Amino acid sequence: MLSPEMEDYLKVIYDLQRGGADPVSTSEIADTLAVTPPTATSMMEKLADRELVEREKYKGVTLTTEGETVALEVVRHHRLIETYLAERLGYSWAEVHDEADRLEHHISEEFERRVADVLDDPDVDPHGDPIPNDALDPMDDTEGATLADFEEDDRVVVRRVRDRDPDGLAYLQGAGITPGTVLTVAEVAPIGMVTVSLPDGETTALPQRVAEAIRVEAAGATEDAAAP
């Protein structure tokens, strides 16, 4: 049986891999988990001994098939819990991440199944992140372009929002910017601000770091492109 700490490492490796790192360096893992490189190296050795990661000397690690399956199970738990907290317990999407982090290692498969059934087996969590299916099949979890990648007059649909910044999420929710929202880039200022227009005509100025946390795709010619 794996410890919660081991599962955390596997989830972090999965996140870094989907972000484009392959292999994932020990320093990236250490930075993400706020541990020392020797601590991360020691854990990589343990995970390699269990055949959950493959290590390349001086390069980093890659999840094995078994390691990816474990990571996907933790991700499924996390995103189902986030969705349950938001839809059934009244949590805001800014609050659910930390709660899900605490609970994801401790729910049974029966509890997971019941949560999925109650929620009608959702495809995405409140932030727009895809939820792995119950078979834990590998999925396309690439994040795509960010709002900061687009130019003035571009029209986009919000698909995902990074869930690590509660203050940023609360600000976006208050502004009405959530997955499925259609935005038009009104201005890209040289000082690092991106101003967007919402469907109701309101405009909101977003700092560069917030714009980079919003994953979008180009909108089509009709409002149908806004469907999540």
The CATH-assigned architecture of domain 4-63 is Orthogonal Bundle (1.10)
pLDDT at 57: 83
pLDDT at 228: 42
Look up the CATH superfamily of 147-226.
Ferrous iron transport protein A (FeoA) (2.30.30.90)
pLDDT at 44: 97
| Residue 228 token pair | 């999540």
| Distance of alpha carbon 25 from alpha carbon 187, whole angstroms | 37
- With vertex at residue 13, the alpha carbon angle to CA 8 and CA 18, rounded to the nearest 5 degrees, is 125
Beta-carbon count within 10 A of 186 CB: 15
pLDDT at 180: 94
pLDDT at 140: 83
Phi, psi of 97 (to 5 degrees): -60, -50
pLDDT at 225: 40
3-class secondary structure, 143: coil
* pTM, entire model: 0.89
pLDDT at 177: 95
pLDDT at 89: 97
List % helix, strand, coil for the chain (3-state, nearest 5): 45, 20, 40
* Average pLDDT, consecutive stretches of 10 residues, N- to C-terminus, the chain (228 residues): 96 90 92 96 97 93 97 97 97 94 95 97 96 94 88 96 88 93 95 93 93 92 43
pLDDT at 137: 95
Q: In what order do the strands lie in the sheet with 203-207?
A: 203-207, 193-197, 182-188, 155-161, 214-218
Beta bridge partners of 216: 158
- Domain locations along the chain: 4-63, 147-226
Name the residue among 118, 149, 143 with its Cα closest to residue 129. 143
